[in-house]
Amino acid sequence: MNKILRSCSLFFFVQGVVFLALLAGGCETSDQSQVPSRENKKKPVPVEVATIEHGPLELRRTFSGTLEARAEFVVAPKVAGRVESLVANISDSVKRGEVVAELDSDEYVQEVAQARANLAVSQANLVEARNALEISRRELARITTLRERGVASESQLDAVKAGELARQAELEVAKAQVVRAESILESAKIRLGYTRVTAGWSGGDDLRIVAERFVDEGETVGANAPLLRIVELNPITGVVYVTERDYAKLQGDQEVSLTTDAFAGETFVGKIERIAPVFKQATRQARVELVIDNPQQRLKPGMFIRATVVLASVADAVVVPERALTKRGDGVGIFLVSADGNNVRWQEVQVGIRDGERVQLLGEGLEGRVVTLGQQMLEDGSQIVISTETRLGTGADAGGR
């Protein structure tokens, strides 16, 4: 019985030792996967490097947007009627004040004729009222003389005076009727003139383009119904929306480069004209308006644009490829290659502006070459072997080691 117990104890003891050995072996493997062993540190690590460059660097932002007409004017008649002629069509040029449509004027011509006739009647009534007043005044003078002689009675004189006052009132009414008739005639003439519809916009260029036609000849339209939409295309307005991150970096009159799919490969130049003082709550973006010269009117409202703005620039920046940056702990740095190209030195850096894959580094003593591929196998002082050396931003092979 004791032999059996001793055999069991020995068995469990051996099993425990084996378990602890396996556990220690597993931990050792995990640590080796995280930190290069001393033996690995001695082996040269193949890497790619690039030369640190000095030169100008710009921080650019590209915003998507659309083009809008600089100004719009909707041609609409001030009176209702049937469209007899519409001389302008889409893409036609229209001068300021040009007659672009005419409405049927028969009804308005008749209104003018009737107003003239009413004015003539009012003028005749005025003449009649003046004559009646003159007669009444003569009668008043005669009765007054007779009353002084004792021939006419006091009641006769009062009756004549009342008649003279009535004739004065009638004269004033006749005068007012003439003024009213003249006003009605003038209104009728104005309404008749409204049958000739003109493109009478204010401000901007004297020549614009018809963008849209809403009616055809023969249609009956109401007052203020749109006939044509006329737009100003030179200059043209670009509209983009920016976020809070870029808003503070934008300024009025800042130059902008624009491209559009309609003219691939071409760049148009504009500038920032207006920056909205508020952000839209739904998108948290602010409207920015650009002005672009468009002398040949190639750019059209509604076109999609990409507007690139230089938000910041450095005349002489220390520049490396973005892939050279390596994060270690809480810091960011680079691996600088020694002069002989055999080992590297870890250098923490601060990052400035970026332009695509090119990054500005802030700090002193940043010269020579920098590792761009293979950093995960390196530590400060690691030996390396350069497999490829590239020029910044080109990716071209500049030689090997």
**CA dihedral in degrees (102, 107, 108, 110; nearest 10)?**
140
Q: Which residues contact 66 (CB under 8 A, 6 or more apart)?
A: 238, 239, 302, 303, 304, 305
Residue 264, pLDDT score: 92
State the CATH architecture for 62-69+234-313. Answer: Beta Barrel (2.40)
- Contact assessment for residue 270 and residue 256, using Cβ atoms and an 8 Å cutoff: yes
Residue 39, pLDDT score: 52
Residue 391, pLDDT score: 66
Domain 71-104+195-232 sits in CATH at 2.40.50.100
Chunked in runs of 10, what are the mean pLDDT values of the chain (401 residues)?
42 41 36 44 86 91 95 95 94 94 95 96 95 91 86 86 92 96 96 95 90 95 96 96 94 95 94 96 96 94 96 91 90 92 92 90 88 91 87 48 38
Residue 11, pLDDT score: 43
The b/e string for 265-293 (b: 16+ C-beta within 10 A; e otherwise) is eeebebbbbeeeeebeeeeebbbbbbbbe
Q: Which of 358, 361, 234 is nearest to 293 (CA)?
A: 234
Residue 28, pLDDT score: 34
The model's pTM: 0.67
Class level of CATH domain 40-57+315-390 = mainly beta
Q: Which of 258, 265, 307, 314 is nearest to 287 (CA)?
A: 307
Cis peptide upstream of residue 235 (ω within 30 degrees of 0): yes
DSSP for 53-76 reads EEEEEEEEEEEEEEEE-SEEEEE-
Burial level of 86, CB count in 10 A (0-12/13-18/19+)? buried
Residue 38, pLDDT score: 52
Q: How far is CA 248 from CA 66, 223, 266, 290, in A?
A: 22, 47, 29, 16
Q: Which residues contact 228 (CB under 8 A, 6 or more apart)?
A: 74, 75, 86, 88, 94, 100, 101, 199, 210, 212, 213, 214
Report pLDDT digits (tens) over 217-262. Answer: 999 999 999 999 999 999 999 999 999 999 999 999 999 999 999 9
